[in-house]
Structure 1
Amino acid sequence: MKIRFKAPSGAGSVEVHDASTVKELVEAIKLATNYGDVTVKYGWPPKALTAEQAELSAQSLGLHRENLTVVPVENDSTTSSQNTQPTPEPTTTAGTAAITTTTTIPAAALPGLQTPSSGKEKSTTTTKGIKDQNISVPMPETGSTLVLRVMPDDNSCLFTAVGGALRGLRSDPSETFTPDALRRLVVEHIRAHPEKYSAVILGKSPGAYCAGMLRPDTWGGEIELAIVSEIFRLEIDVIDVKTGTVYRVGEGNGYPLRCVLVYSNVHYDRVAEIFVEGQEEVDFDVTRWAADESSDHIIVHAQEMCRKLKEEHHYYTDTSDFVVMCNECGWIGQGQTALAKHSLSTGHSDISEIKDTAA
């Protein structure tokens, strides 16, 4: 069986026999990570495997369904060596696990739709990603299929996802809405409504906020979704992969159409409807539906897709138990609370999530 893990050196997986004990699993993880000794945590809230569990089978504890967190013991010499590496390099241990590179996230990342207004989301990992999985859900009531259109990890995923849903919305069918164009529209809207978008709302001065939003490495979030929704009179429904919750941006404003995005806590993708199985050409995608009960089946199947993404592909970042590393001082912590405390006490903001991208 394959068991996945996250460690300060990266994420990966180990292959062990179905009857392997906890002790054998821990030894395999130590071999894969090159740590002399480790604490292995599982479940939620995370709890450490104990010596008393050493001879129990890994399957009896459900570890084959877990994404384990590996923490080097503090006095381990290997830990010190790892902590001096500001950016972990990918390594591979033959026959065990591929340790992938990290994905940087902002220190201010919050759960729900409080998406950070700045940060990095680009990953350099070369392992097979969700884009290669062709995630889809059949919709028998319409004879069509709902598919996930995966956006690039280039810090503009929100704008790319929404921009694709705007194609053909206005009278000019050739009009396109690139991330740069949407960023400019957002900034112009903020500047035109200073009474609405104050420093209190934006979290910083409007000038600083707008300057940052024009940069291609700045993330968009709830404010940008609301502005795009208002400009284009389009309800934007965002479904949280982890919880299946639907956030309806622009609901109740009488907008005639809606689009649907999928949110993994650090990344946005677009949902589309296709009528030809295996269709890859996005120009033929249906990306907008009537904003009433006639398109409720789209939301239901999109939630089904999110359950599939969560349970089968683990396609979300859990800010309650993710493992992160500070690229400025080498600090390693787990969870949003620890991250916020470190960021506030040090002022450090170059933070990397040790993201699970194991095949």
Structure 2
Amino acid sequence: MRIRLKSPHGNAIVSLSETNERVETVFKDVIAPNNAELFKDQTVVAIKSGFPPKPIDLQAKLGDVIQNGDQLILELAGQTAADPTTPQSKQKKVATETEQLVNKLEIPSISIPDIDQYLILRNIPDDNSCMFNAIAYALGKPFDYSQDLRLVVSNEISQDPITYNEIILGRSNDNYCSWISKKDSWGGAIELGILLKTLNLRINCIDIELGNFIKFEDESSNPTNFINLIYSGVHYDLLVTNPTLSVDHKDKSSDLGKWSIDFEPVINQYSNKLLKLLQLRNYTTNTTTFRVRCLQCYQVLVGETGASKHANDTGHYNFGEVDK
């Protein structure tokens, strides 16, 4: 079995013969020791595969969840793997203290001295509803509110078949309404255009690859609030402000993701600085030129459009990037 690995430190193609061991065991005992440059003494906290990337079960047998040719994206914790010669009680204490420090250092964020706040990127789950979930989070709503947002979009499109015709939608009006109502259908510019009118918001979509701000708004409604979405090529995250830099659930309850237009100059100034940091971390995917292979029928597809169409036509959702 040959698999392709991507980590924050680089890429590698790895050959494996043992597939009956747990994923976590194989990575810890086989892959990490032989590919030190990918791990830099950091431990694996999540492994994602498919398109869009989704976490795989680290406790499952490798052969049950990973196939030959898969591309795997590694998410690493900042702490150094514990020394097996250190007493267990001391290992736990050191890991806990280190993890707290890492949380402060590795959360994508930037300080805004003007308002004594941090501007923080909040990761939204990779579940095909990321755009809707990001907007729900910004509004202070739970993620299941995203289904209400889908209903708003579906109703607007169904009531205006002239504006939202087959040419604009790429499919019939009825078919699109049915499709966008499903929780695994991706939202984009059409949905943003509808929601900003309903919510009376300006939505700034920050494209990491292009390095620019794409402003969505209904100028006739003169919105008084705005939100900033981060778009990495295949995924939406959200920017928030918080006086505390933390990923603790209690601290995150103070997140503010919808701001008055009056604060837009300073928020966008620091959003642009955070954008440059994300570019340095290569927090992006080129959705137009990247090639993926369907791992169910092995067809090679180009870009997000090709992968999406193939998924809709065939029901195949397991993709891996093609080596260049």
| Interval containing the TM-score (normalised by the shorter chain) | 0.5 to 0.7
Secondary structure at 2:185 match in 1: coil
The aligned amino acid for 1:310 is Q
- Aligned twin of 1:138: 111
Matched, 1:296 2:258: no
- Answer yes or no: is the 8 Å Cα contact 2:208–2:232 preserved in 1: yes
Q: Sort the Cα spacing of 1:188 and 1:124 in 2 relative to 1 into closer, same or farther, 3 A.
A: same
RMSD: 3.9
Q: Distance in 1 between matches of 2:191 and 2:242?
A: 27
CA deviation after TM superposition for structure 1 residue 103, in Å: 2.4
Q: Distance in 2 between matches of 1:150 and 1:15?
A: 20
Q: Distance in 1 between matches of 2:202 and 2:261?
A: 7
Q: Sort the Cα spacing of 1:332 and 1:198 in 2 relative to 1 into closer, same or farther, 3 A.
A: closer
CA deviation after TM superposition for structure 1 residue 331, in Å: 3.9
Q: Sort the Cα spacing of 1:167 and 1:299 in 2 relative to 1 into closer, same or farther, 3 A.
A: same
- Aligned twin of 1:205: 172
**Where does structure 1 differ by over 6 angstroms across 4 or more consecutive aligned residues?**
129-132
Find 1:128's aligned residue among 64, 75, 90: 75
TM-score normalised to structure 1 length: 0.61
Find 1:248's aligned residue among 215, 226, 229: 215
- Aligned twin of 1:188: 155
Find 2:34's aligned residue among 87, 96, 100: 96
Q: Which has the higher contact order (CA 8 A, sep 6+)?
A: 1
Find 2:187's aligned residue among 208, 220, 228: 220
- Answer yes or no: is the 8 Å Cα contact 1:242–1:306 preserved in 2: no
CA deviation after TM superposition for structure 1 residue 279, in Å: 6.9
- Aligned twin of 1:262: 230
Per-residue CA deviations over 1:26-80 (Å, capped at 9, x if unaligned) read xx95xx5239xxxxxxxxxxxxxxxxxxxxxxxxxxxxxxxxxxxxxxxxxx9xx
Q: Distance in 1 between matches of 2:144 and 2:159?
A: 20
Q: Distance in 1 between matches of 2:170 and 2:253?
A: 37
CA deviation after TM superposition for structure 1 residue 150, in Å: 0.8
- Aligned twin of 1:307: 276
- Aligned twin of 2:254: 284
Q: Sort the Cα spacing of 1:10 and 1:353 in 2 relative to 1 into closer, same or farther, 3 A.
A: farther
Q: Distance in 1 between matches of 2:227 and 2:217?
A: 11
Q: Distance in 1 between matches of 2:9 and 2:260?
A: 48
CA deviation after TM superposition for structure 1 residue 146, in Å: 0.3
Q: Give the fraction of aligned pairs with identical amino acids, expressed as a percent.
A: 24
Q: Distance in 2 between matches of 1:14 and 1:311?
A: 11
Q: Sort the Cα spacing of 1:101 and 1:273 in 2 relative to 1 into closer, same or farther, 3 A.
A: closer
Q: Sort the Cα spacing of 1:275 and 1:124 in 2 relative to 1 into closer, same or farther, 3 A.
A: same
Secondary structure at 2:54 match in 1: coil
Q: Distance in 2 between matches of 1:15 and 1:234?
A: 38
CA deviation after TM superposition for structure 1 residue 264, in Å: 0.5
- Answer yes or no: is the 8 Å Cα contact 2:196–2:218 preserved in 1: no
- Contiguous gaps of at least 5 residues in structure 1: 1-7, 17-27, 36-77, 79-88, 106-120, 169-174
Q: Distance in 2 between matches of 1:219 and 1:263?
A: 13
Q: Sort the Cα spacing of 1:289 and 1:14 in 2 relative to 1 into closer, same or farther, 3 A.
A: closer
Q: Sort the Cα spacing of 1:352 and 1:279 in 2 relative to 1 into closer, same or farther, 3 A.
A: closer
- More helix as a share of residues: 2
CA deviation after TM superposition for structure 1 residue 140, in Å: 1.4
Q: Sort the Cα spacing of 1:211 and 1:282 in 2 relative to 1 into closer, same or farther, 3 A.
A: same
